[in-house]
């Protein structure tokens, strides 16, 4: 039996039933948070590259990652792949959205590195994501016990109107505030000593209408709430309904911060998970709500026909990186992918594991034990989260001790075979990723002439803030950089010159935008019948046509961004290590074993 209590200092973050009716799980802070405070430990981000192109049209089930991902532009992956999604493993994938009480946001200034591992010498670089340190911070004070809410945006709810119904938006509460002002005027005009209950009676009439609209659903829930909303606003009147007591959370929630990320002690593993506090034998290490993938083939990646740009159906070239963060079984097509807490950091050890995986207790919110007796085909018909595990300590774990899980003999053999056969990619000895150039902007960027004798690695390209449109005519004379250009879109460019500015230690650059011919010659990566930058920049209209000259003078370093070429990061290398963690055979459902 798993020990549920938290030992030592207070749990900072709980996973429990959301305060939003029928919203499933939510996350709650166990401590008071002020604006700018970190809600939880940073998350990692795993790219799901071009999934729609690879397998989207073949799927006969709903891929749940669709509802638990960010757009690639939100996390700066839009220059790394043509299409796809950013899968945020940790806190970022869990908060619900209540437009009345948005109190947290993701900081999209994400770090990228592989913890001193390098593709020229380390086979482990392809096995885990380099995108990390994605922070979720409070945007206002959140009282202990308060649920964490993120802003999904109106479009997210508009696209799911048929499923979710008329969820109130921010504008809905603004409309209600206007209505309450009018309501108050009417009540003041007609309530008298002869009719003392007029305001309450009128409110009862309003609430009896039961009109299904976003605005109606944003109305205060009680007469007392209505009175309060006339002072503090309808959105703020909802706040008391979004807070649970710490006693309730301790009894019904699962602590999400018993472990935290750090540099792993395991060779080639990168980052690992470490105990935040003492965890007793049998204690909860981390909760593991699961996204089920009924058929692992959904994560397959295919060869592309160089002439047609179309997928070659019979030529699988690899699998998506997210496979490495999922559980599977040798006799089943089913994958089970944890998407919350720092459990994604837990590394493998067959010799000294101190954690095991257990199914969540029957009755745990978000875990339907009856699904374990259904078939894999049944899982295809389930388009919502409905399974959960717990990572449980197999012995006492001291604060600061690294946490290990046995991934299984099949995983160990696959890793051993990969290491034995691994050879460094061609040209890897000179490889640097663009993030290294961006970390230290005091480094001087080499001009195109200097790069003839001292070139950057082939994966590096430069983008400049320049919002090209067809109305901008070709001009061989340089235009002068304006400070407002820092907000403009990025366009591929080349560095012509570097010189000192008028300010002390100021270095400025003269740059030229690359035209369509140069881009296709330099970045000739075909995908799905479209060239890469045609898609990345909204079509050829966003790139100067062949022969056009667009030169900018006086560009500061902040106006130039180093980027990796499409699919050149370690996560996209051919022959990357891919293998799911193996789910314990003794508790894997027999009904799902569809490969026997």
Identify whether 421 is part of a domain. Answer: no
Residue 530, pLDDT above cutoff 50: no
Residue pLDDT, tens place only, 178-234 = 999 999 999 999 988 888 999 999 999 999 998 899 999 999 999 999 999 999 999
In the predicted model, what is the mean pLDDT of residues 518-536? 48
Give the integer Cα–Cα distance in Å for 256 and 546: 54
Residue pLDDT, tens place only, 455-504 = 999 899 999 999 888 778 888 889 899 988 888 888 889 999 999 999 99
405 and 274 co-located in one domain: yes
Q: What is the pLDDT of residue 165?
A: 93
How far from chain centre, in Å, is Cα 61?
Answer: 22
Residue pLDDT, tens place only, 34-87 = 999 999 999 999 999 999 999 988 899 999 998 888 889 888 888 898 889 999
526 and 465 co-located in one domain: yes
Q: What is the CATH number of the domain that holds 332?
A: 2.170.270.10
Boundary residue ending a domain (188, 216, 242): 242
Identify whether 469 is part of a domain. Answer: yes
pLDDT bin (cut points 50, 70, 90) of residue 523 is low
Residue pLDDT, tens place only, 376-389 = 999 999 999 999 99
Number of domains in the chain: 3
Q: What is the pLDDT of residue 1?
A: 46
135 and 271 co-located in one domain: yes
386 and 501 co-located in one domain: no
254-255 and 13-17 as β-strands: parallel, antiparallel, unpaired? antiparallel
308 and 408 co-located in one domain: yes
193 and 292 co-located in one domain: no
Identify whether 2 is part of a domain. Answer: no
Give the integer Cα–Cα distance in Å for 283 and 249: 16
113 and 130 co-located in one domain: yes
Identify whether 8 is part of a domain. Answer: no
Q: What is the pLDDT of residue 107?
A: 86
Q: What is the pLDDT of residue 87?
A: 94
In the predicted model, what is the mean pLDDT of residues 302-314? 88
Q: What is the pLDDT of residue 522?
A: 62
68 and 167 co-located in one domain: no
93 and 166 co-located in one domain: no
Which residue range is the domain that position 37 belongs to? 13-147+246-415+579-590
Q: What is the pLDDT of residue 342?
A: 82
Give the integer Cα–Cα distance in Å for 223 and 237: 11
238 and 264 co-located in one domain: no
pLDDT averaged over every residue in the chain: 91
Residue pLDDT, tens place only, 118-133 = 999 999 999 999 999 9
Boundary residue ending a domain (220, 242, 264): 242
552 and 535 co-located in one domain: yes
pLDDT bin (cut points 50, 70, 90) of residue 531 is very low
Identify whether 1 is part of a domain. Answer: no
Could you tell me which residue, 95 or 520, shows the higher pLDDT? 95
Boundary residue ending a domain (175, 208, 242): 242
Identify whether 553 is part of a domain. Answer: yes
Residue 436, pLDDT above cutoff 80: yes
Could you tell me which residue, 560 or 342, shows the higher pLDDT? 560
Identify whether 426 is part of a domain. Answer: no
Contact 403, 352 (CB under 8 A): no
348 and 449 co-located in one domain: no
In the predicted model, what is the mean pLDDT of residues 324-340? 96
User: What contacts 566, CB < 8 A, 6 or more positions away?
Assistant: 79, 80, 81, 82, 523, 525, 527, 532, 536
Identify whether 596 is part of a domain. Answer: no
């Amino acid at each position: 039996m798993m020990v549920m209590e938290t030992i030592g200092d207070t749990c900072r973050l709980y996973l429990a039933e959301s305060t939003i009716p029928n919203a499933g799980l939510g996350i709650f802070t166990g401590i008071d948070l002020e604006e700018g405070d970190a809600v939880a430990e940073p998350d990692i981000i795993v790219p799901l590259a071009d999934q729609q192109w690879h397998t989207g049209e073949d799927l006969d089930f709903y891929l749940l990652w669709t509802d638990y991902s960010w757009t690639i532009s939100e996390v700066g992956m839009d220059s790394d792949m043509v299409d796809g999604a950013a899968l945020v493993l940790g806190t970022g994938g869990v908060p619900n959205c209540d437009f009345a009480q948005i109190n947290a946001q993701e900081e999209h200034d994400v770090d990228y590195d592989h913890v001193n591992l390098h593709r020229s010498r380390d086979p482990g670089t392809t096995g885990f994501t380099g995108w990390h340190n994605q922070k979720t911070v409070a945007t206002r004070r959140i009282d202990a016990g308060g649920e964490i809410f993120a802003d999904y945006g109106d479009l997210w709810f508009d696209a799911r109107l048929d499923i979710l119904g008329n969820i109130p938006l921010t504008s809905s509460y603004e409309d209600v505030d206007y209505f309450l002002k009018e309501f108050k005027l009417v009540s003041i005009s007609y309530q008298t000593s002869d009719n003392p209950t007029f305001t309450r009676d009128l409110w009862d009439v309003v609430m009896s209408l039961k009109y299904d609209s976003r605005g109606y659903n944003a109305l205060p829930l009680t007469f007392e709430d209505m009175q309060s909303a006339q002072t503090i606003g309808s959105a703020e009147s909802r706040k008391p309904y979004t807070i649970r007591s710490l006693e309730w959370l301790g009894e019904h929630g699962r602590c999400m911060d018993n472990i935290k990320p750090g540099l792993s002690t395991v060779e080639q593993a990168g980052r690992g998970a470490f105990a935040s506090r003492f965890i007793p034998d049998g204690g909860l290490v981390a909760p593991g709500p699961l996204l089920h993938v009924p058929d692992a083939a959904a994560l397959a990646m295919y060869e592309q026909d160089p002439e047609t740009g179309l997928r070659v159906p019979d030529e699988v070239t690899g699998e998506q990186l997210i496979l490495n963060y999922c559980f599977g079984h040798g006799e089943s097509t089913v994958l089970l992918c944890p998407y919350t807490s720092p459990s994604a950091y837990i590394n493998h050890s067959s010799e000294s594991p101190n954690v095991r995986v257990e199914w969540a207790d029957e009755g745990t919110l978000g875990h339907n034990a009856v699904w374990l007796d259904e078939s894999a085909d049944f899982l295809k018909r389930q388009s919502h989260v409905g399974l959960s595990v717990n990572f449980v300590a197999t012995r006492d774990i001291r604060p600061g001790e690294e946490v290990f899980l046995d991934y299984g003999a099949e995983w160990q053999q696959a890793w051993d075979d990969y290491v034995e056969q691994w050879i460094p990619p061609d040209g890897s000895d000179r490889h640097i990723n663009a993030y290294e150039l961006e970390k230290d902007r005091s480094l001087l960027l080499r001009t195109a002439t200097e790069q003839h004798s001292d070139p950057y690695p082939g994966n590096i390209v430069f983008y400049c803030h320049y919002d090209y449109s067809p109305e901008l005519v070709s001009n061989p004379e340089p235009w002068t950089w304006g400070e407002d250009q820092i907000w403009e879109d990025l366009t591929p460019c080349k560095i012509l010159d570097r010189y000192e500015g008028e300010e002390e230690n100021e270095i400025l650059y003269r740059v030229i935008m690359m035209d369509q011919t140069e881009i296709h010659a330099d970045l000739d990566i075909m995908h799905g019948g479209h060239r890469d930058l045609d898609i990345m920049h909204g079509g050829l209209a966003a790139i100067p046509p062949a022969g056009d000259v667009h030169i900018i003078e006086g560009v500061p370093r902040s106006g130039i961004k180093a980027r990796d070429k499409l699919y050149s990061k370690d996560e996209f290398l051919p022959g990357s290590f891919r293998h799911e963690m193996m789910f314990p055979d003794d508790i894997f459902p027999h009904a799902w074993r569809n490969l026997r």
